[in-house]
Amino acid sequence: MTAPSLDRLRRGGEQLMEELSREYYRAQAGLKSSAELAPIYARHSDVLSDDSLEMMRELFRGAAAESEELRSARILLDWQADGLVSRTLAPLDEREIAWEGSSVVRVSDGRTIPFQRIAIEIANATDRAERLVLEAARAKLVASELAPLRRERFQRERDLTEGLDIAPGYNATFAALSGIDLPGLVDQCQVFLRDTREMWEDVFRARVRQQLGIDPRDATRADALALMRAPEFDPYFPSSAMEGEIRRQTAEMAVDAHADGRVIFDTAEREGKRSRAFCAPVRVPEEVYLVLRPHGGQADYRTFLHELGHALHFGYTRADLPFEFRWLGDNSITEGYAMLFDHLMHDAGWLLRYTGLGRSRLPEFLRAVGFEELHFLRRYAAKLVYEYRLYSGDVSWDSLPDLYVATLSDATLFSYNAADAFVDVDPRFYAARYIRAWQLQALIARTLVERFDEDWYRNPRSGPWIVEHLFAEGQRELGQELAERVGGEPLSFAPLLRATEALLV
């Protein structure tokens, strides 16, 4: 085997990431029945190797503090560590993707529903008895088949990561590689949950009684899916108009929604396509897919905008940046751009201009949006608190389902199912990226309003500025560095909470 070098690692890494991303895209978009990841890792065994890991460990430990070399080495070492673990776990990931694409939920009345559609069916069920029947069938299948796969994956991921000799323990390793103060963020989340408890209890009880007509004490996560679906607003968000109106908006801010052909929309209904939308950067910035399986109504608009933020970020990243700054880095940044776009659904002017929502329904819709925002903020804060314990090793694997139910149910007031304790977890603390992204988008939005007025989203000066000063830089910076550069202050819940409170008035 040829001795590794930084240039060779970058070239090989780009080829590996392109092949993996294309394989994930095709399998999760329903274009093939399963993902074949292990052969890809085998073809690129020299990229993710013990020698490459050791080279990056040495560069990371030897780089000067706050230098560009340290920034690059940290990102590449993070990728090496994740890649080596992912290569080992590829057979498990293949099994999970194949399972999700082929499994069916067997309902007690004899119906069968593809697993990939069950969340859509639950959200769209207006009859509560039907919703609970579907949820019971889903949970039974997950508990017996998917949860054991996921539990095994997390057990092995934790063991493998702790064996990389980067820091003592999984959580410390993540903090060292990501540049995120994980204990500090967990503390922030606990304070946020405490400070917003009374507000959430008030809005939760009122909305559950008003919209679902049930005792709030009986509400489950299946009811939450239906509540967030908000079908009463569907007529104002027609599917036929969605792509055209959003393309019109980006054009008005002087940005091409397709990034001169580099961004491809995959929004058709297709059997086997996963229900959760995603963005697949197959070649950055040359080939980026926005994938959406329609649910209907305002949820599709929000999801489309979110994935468009990702797609435009990758599609407008500078092609001359090194591999690690185009492909890798702190995903708090790309998630922040995705949330910047999906939070246009919180803007009264945007809603009046690009949707069918008139002024008479606007206050009601914004209150519903505020409810959803506070729910998801509390849910993800609780997820991070739970996942910190999951990865820490101070709770036995058998005790985690009870901890999951207690933590998530207490934070959201919707009853959670123990079957999801290992399924409702994004690997490698992705909840931390989401929380920081929420915080980041609030600062970016405030900056855009200060620079380009309240309607920045249709100001032809704002789009080129966003492309040049945000998207073009890929993910070279950490989220907190971008917050200071653009927003002039550190990441926190404060501006986000102010914006949420304004929606709930």
Instruction: Sheet containing 278-283: give its strands across.
Output: 263-266, 287-291, 278-283
Pick the closest to residue 364 from 171, 209, 505, 257 (CA basis): 505
Determine the Cα–Cα distance for residues 51 and 245; give it in Å rounded to an integer: 51
Identity at 79, one-letter amino acid code: W
CB neighbour list of residue 58: distance below 8 Å, 6 or more residues apart: none
Is residue 34 within 8 Å of residue 94, measured between CB atoms?
Answer: yes
Task: Report pLDDT for 70.
Answer: 94
Peptide bond preceding 39 in cis form (omega within 30 of 0): no
Pick from 424, 431, 426, 427: nearest CA to 224: 424
pTM over 0.85: yes
User: HEC states along 302-328?
Assistant: HHHHHHHHHHHHHHCCCCCCCHHHHHC
- For 395, the token pair is 């709770």
Domain ranges of the chain: 1-102, 186-503
Which residues lie closer than 8 Å to 211 by C-beta, 6 or more apart?
Answer: 227
Residue 205: φ, ψ to 5°? -60, -45
The CA distance from 18 to 87, in Å, is 15
| Backbone phi, psi, residue 427, to 5° | -55, 155
pLDDT attached to residue 157: 95
CB neighbour class for 319 (10 Å; exposed up to 12, middle 13-18, buried from 19): exposed
Say how far apart CA 233 and CA 366 lie, in whole Å.
11
pLDDT at 101: 85
Classify domain 186-503 by CATH number: 1.10.1370.30
pLDDT confidence of residue 1: 45
Q: Is 169 helix (H, G, I), strand (E, B) or coil?
A: coil
Vertex 230: Cα angle to 228 and 233 (nearest 5): 145
CA dist 240 and 361 (Å) reads 21
The end-to-end CA distance of the chain, in Å, is: 64
Ramachandran bin of 230, using left for φ above 0, alpha for ψ from -120 to 50, beta for the remaining angles: left
| Cβ atoms of residues 238 and 356 within 8 Å | yes
Pairing of strands 263-266, 287-291: parallel
Tell me if 186 sits within 8 A of 385, measured CB to CB: yes
**3-class SS of residue 270:** coil
Contact between residue 344 and residue 307 where contact means Cβ atoms under 8 Å apart: no
- Radius of gyration of the chain from its Cα atoms, rounded to whole angstroms: 22
In which element (H, E) is residue 112 found? strand 112-114
pLDDT in tens, the chain (505 residues): 455 799 999 999 999 999 999 999 999 999 998 889 899 999 999 999 989 999 999 999 999 988 999 999 999 999 999 999 998 999 999 899 889 889 999 999 999 999 989 998 999 898 999 999 999 999 999 999 999 999 999 999 999 999 988 899 999 999 999 999 999 999 999 999 999 999 999 999 999 999 999 999 999 999 999 898 888 899 999 989 999 999 999 999 999 999 999 999 999 889 888 888 999 999 999 999 999 988 778 889 999 999 999 999 999 999 999 999 999 999 999 999 999 999 999 999 999 999 999 999 999 999 999 999 999 999 999 999 999 999 999 999 999 999 999 999 999 999 999 999 999 998 899 999 999 999 999 999 999 999 999 999 999 999 999 999 999 999 999 999 999 999 999 999 999 999 999 999 8
Query: Over the range 47-71, which residues count as b (16 or more CB within 10 Å of their CB) and which as e?
Result: bbbeebbebbbebbeebeeeeeebb
